[in-house]
Structure formats: structure tokens, C-alpha cells
Amino acid sequence: RFPDPTANPYLAFAAMLMAGLDGIKNKIDPGKPGDEDLYELTEKEKDSIPKVCSSLDQALGALDKDRDFLKAGGVFTDNVIDSFIDLKMEEVTALRASPHPVEFDMYYSC
């Protein structure tokens, strides 16, 4: 998944570079290019497209499970990765403790 503008560019570009190098080193097939019109795909075709994490919580869990490629060559350390996960989990916890704006509109506003 391409990072959004809120990402730390130094961490994001380093991680993308490490992922690319890992793919080359392990000869991982990137798959065919996705040049179809997504609005014209059938449900079966849509279901066959690999999915990315749909929340920060899921993404942090995936990072925790698959981190070895980031540590190659000492680019990232377990301490850096663990600290990042801990920091971002504080954001997840804060968001879980607050009503979503849509939830607020549906149930709390008049």
C-alpha cells in the first residue's frame, strides 16, 4: 500500500525500499499489473484482489508479525519497530475511547 501524506517520509521510504529489496532477494513475484477498471469487475474478480489492512490496528499487527525484512542490514531494529508500534497503539487506544463523528451524528446530536 502506498503511504499517505501523514506518514513519516524517512520511515516510509526506508520501509518501501527494504520491501522492494526483499522482493528482489527472495524472487517474489509481484503479480500482474492491475490495469483493469475496478468499477467494471465482477464480485468474483473483486474478491480475488489481495486486500490490505483496513485499520491502523491491523497494520500494526501485520508489522509485528512480518518485520524481518526491515531489519536486514541493520536498517531498522526491533527496538525501533517495537517503539513505533507502541506509539501508534496509543493512537489506536485514544481513537477507540472516542466516538466517531458519524457515531456522534447518529446517536448524540439532535
pTM of the entire structure? 0.80
Rounded mean pLDDT, 18-34: 93
Quickly list DSSP for 50-75.
PPPPSSHHHHHHHHHHS-HHHHGGGS
Amino acid at 101: P
Alpha carbon distance 78, 85 (integer Å): 10
82-110 per-position pLDDT tens digit: 999 999 999 999 999 988 888 888 888 77
Per the CB < 8 A criterion, the answer to whether 63 and 85 are in contact is: yes
| pLDDT, tens digit, 9 for 90 and up, residues 61-74 | 999 999 999 999 99
- Cα separations in angstroms, 13 against 9, 37, 60, 97, 109: 6, 28, 17, 31, 42
Nearest to 14 by CA among 60, 80, 64: 80
